[in-house]
Amino acid sequence: MKAPPSHGSPGNRNVDLDPDRFYVCQRCTACCKWPGDVRIEEDEIARIAGFLNLTEVAFMERYTRLRGNRQGLSLIEKANHECIMLEGNSCLIHPVKPEQCRGFPNKWNFPGWRQVCEAVPIPMAEATDRGLV
Ligand code: SF4
Ligand code: SF4
């Protein structure tokens, strides 16, 4: 999932979290189409490269670039700003997608995120029962 600068990032502090609600992703793919970095942390490189049957070097050369702040790697985006890993409505690396993607909108978000995300709220207790948390 992509985090445009105007929407903040997993590192921001301006999040709107409700401890009693969990938002279930509807895979609308909006967050895979926003311009901006999809952060890849160092410990995620080997896992994603392995999933794609690539060496770490080949994965980094083919699919990553420096982040806007030049302090780490991001997935490349296509000319239309979609993430390079988005194919149709599917994420090519879904089982090993980056924490940034896993965390939105329940671990990080930004003011106004409900206007651009179709995730459906359910009680946190139900999310826990269903193993979603
Ligand atoms: S890695 Fe997958 S989930 Fe994350 S932005 Fe790219 S397509 Fe979306
Ligand atoms: S429902 Fe929200 S979290 Fe899920 S793909 Fe759409 S924008 Fe992303």
8 Å CB contact between 93 and 48: yes
Residues in the chain: 133
The predicted-structure confidence for 40-84, as pLDDT tens digits, reads as follows 999 999 999 999 999 999 999 999 999 989 999 999 999 999 999
Q: What is the distance between the alpha carbons of residues 133 and 128, in angstroms, rounded to a whole number?
A: 5
Quick check: CB of 86 below 6 Å from ligand 1? yes
- For residue 2, give the 3-state DSSP assignment: coil
User: Given pLDDT bands bounded at 50, 70 and 90, which one contains residue 111?
Assistant: confident
Quick check: CB of 1 below 6 Å from ligand 2? yes
Which ligand 2 atom is nearest residue 118's CA?
A: 1
